[in-house]
Structure 1
Amino acid sequence: MIALHLIGIGTGNPRHLTGEAVDALNAADLILVPRKENARDLADLRQTICAAVLTRDVPIASFAMPVRAGEGDYLQAVHDWHDAIATAWRTAIVRHLPGGGKVALLVWGDPSLYDSSLRIAARFAGAGVRVVPGITSIQALTAAHAIPLNPLAGPVTITTGRLLRAHGWPNGADSLVVMLDAGGAFEALDPQGVTIWWGAYLGMPEQALAHGPLAEAGPKILATRAALRARHGWIMDVYLLRKDPR
């Protein structure tokens, strides 16, 4: 019997873990860590988090993270990618925990928000799944800028860079949180009357922030983002867009 524990770890700072997350990691029989060829720092950060919070010797195993196809139908590519990740999980579990037990996976941010882990876990028929929530990049962004997420008595729309670039600003929305942007989706918008709050590597020593009218801040963010990606080999960022009150 396999029990999959999906543990939200925030945005890379070991202090972002909740007490519940620390307990779950220490109760695990195996911790799985993905390794991406072009983002090895992410695996190293997970190892650093484990070293900081583990109080017992829990085996840690890594697996090569499959790469999603960049061409063809997007949703089909994602489904195929999830199948490949599930196979990688299963192979690692059989190799390192053949008798079954509790398997912990450290999920960047929160497992419930724009993350694939729950959908991948659903491919394990009969496995128990437990979710330990974590700090999201949205919380880290608003805290870093010391701003409220929503306007007074107003809603917030959460979307992706791909959707923003393809469809523009959603109708009826005044505030947008944009996640999973491969870079510069806000360029597809009319910047007039829009303010942006942007953050990368939130909660980490490399944290970078920018804020201002989109027309002025947008080009600076793109240049900063490109420089940071070149320096570190990877980048995780998120931003809030808000239309100025009419």
Structure 2
Amino acid sequence: MRRIQVIGIGAGDPDQLTLQAVRALRSTDVFFVLDKGEARSDLVGLRRHLLDTHVPEGTYRLVEVRDPDRDRTAGNAAYSRAVGDWRRARAEIYERLIAGELGADESGAFLVWGDPSLYDSTLGILEDVLGRGTVEFGYGVVPGISGVSALAARHRTGLNRVGRPVQITTGRRLAEEFPAGVDDVVVMLDAHQAFREHTDEDIDIFWGAYLGTPDELLVSGPIAEAAPRIERLRARARERKGWIMDTYLLRRNAGGSGPGQP
């Protein structure tokens, strides 16, 4: 039976791959890579660099295919529908790749930024493909170092405080409200810098972009002071590269005193 590995490859640093991930890479015959277009061509380049670092040359095939576009302008009411349409388009591509590019006894792999369990669609899409019943395969998952873990490490801070919860959410949800009952909030997928809505509060921000890559950017401090700098850095970086991947931790200070900066 065809075998698929979903491999978490971390935030971008080849040294952050786990030993399990390296073993999985070296046992793979075909790597499937979804190309997001010229503006994000260096994302494919980073994957190639990971493979060049850890896998002997000539032991695998790399199959690239264009990633379907997703409507990123959809408002809240249409958001779920837009994501559903995009996932169905991806499922059709995955089905075609597995059936047409992978031999009956071969192993294929999808390389997932960070960890496959955290705000990534690969596992759900593979289940959708299996549910169609047109191609049979088994699959396994190799965890990776998430961008959230990399962010905390680079800022030398924990995600939660003693006896307190931490919540991971999206920029879209943060724009609606700051989560109730939580003082430590990790925000991902924030295209519109929702943290700007909280610059009048006693909150520290720990922000990072392009974590684990040569382009890495880090900013931390009281949100009122750090937000303008983050906006400038983010705008310049996005203009230069054409894309940005960033995440941040918001930490509400108790009693008006911060936990100290890294």
Question: TM-score, normalized by length of structure 2?
Answer: 0.89
Whether 1:233 and 2:209 are equivalent positions in the alignment is no
More divergent stretch after superposition (32-41 vs 67-76): 67-76
Q: What is the SS of the residue equivalent to 1:238?
A: strand
Distance 1:100 1:84, change over 3 A: farther
CA RMSD of aligned residues (A): 1.4
CA offsets per residue over residues 105-134 of structure 1, 9 Å max, x none?
A: 100000000111111111122431211000
Write the distance in 2 (CA, Å) between the matches of 1:69 and 1:138: 25
Q: Say if 2:29 and 2:59, in contact at 8 Å, map to a contact too.
A: no
Contact 1:5 1:132 in 2 (8 A): yes
Specify the alignment match of 1:59 in structure 2. Answer: 61
Structure 2 counterpart of 1:169, which letter?
Answer: F
Deviation at 1:5, TM superposition (A): 0.8
CA distance in 1, matches of 2:109, 2:20: 13
- Kindly state the Cα deviation for residue 82 of structure 1 after the two structures are TM-superposed: 0.9
State how 1:73-222 maps to structure 2 within 5 Å.
Answer: 73-99=78-104, 101-125=106-130, 126-165=136-175, 167-189=176-198, 191-222=200-231
CA contact (8 A) 2:199 2:227 kept: no
3-state DSSP of counterpart to 1:186: helix
**CA separation in 1, counterparts of 2:219 and 2:192?**
15
State the distance in 1 between where 2:80 and 2:108 align: 28
Tell me the secondary structure at the aligned position of residue 129 of structure 2: coil
Q: What is the identity, as a one-letter code, of the residue corresponding to 2:54?
A: V
SS at match of 2:59: coil
1:50-83 per-residue CA deviation (whole Å, 9 max, x = no partner) reads: 1111136111110101111233611121111111
* 1:64 aligned partner, one-letter code: R
Q: 2:36 is matched with which residue?
A: 36
SS in 2 for 1:69: coil
Instruction: Point out where structure 2 has 5 or more consecutive residues left out of the alignment.
Output: 131-135, 256-262
Q: Report the secondary structure of 1:178's partner residue.
A: strand
Residues 1:39 and 1:97: Cα distance change in structure 2 (over 3 Å): same
Give, in angstroms, the shift of residue 191 of structure 1.
Answer: 3.2
Gaps of 5+ in 1: none
Aligned to 2:19: 19
Distance apart, 1:154 and its partner CA: 1.2
In 2, the alpha carbon distance for the partners of 1:84 and 1:2 equals 22
Q: Which amino acid aligns with 2:187?
A: V
- The reply on whether 1:242 has 2:251 as its aligned counterpart is yes
- Find the aligned partners of 1:127 and 1:75 in 2 and give their Cα distance: 28
| TM-score normalised according to structure 1 size | 0.95
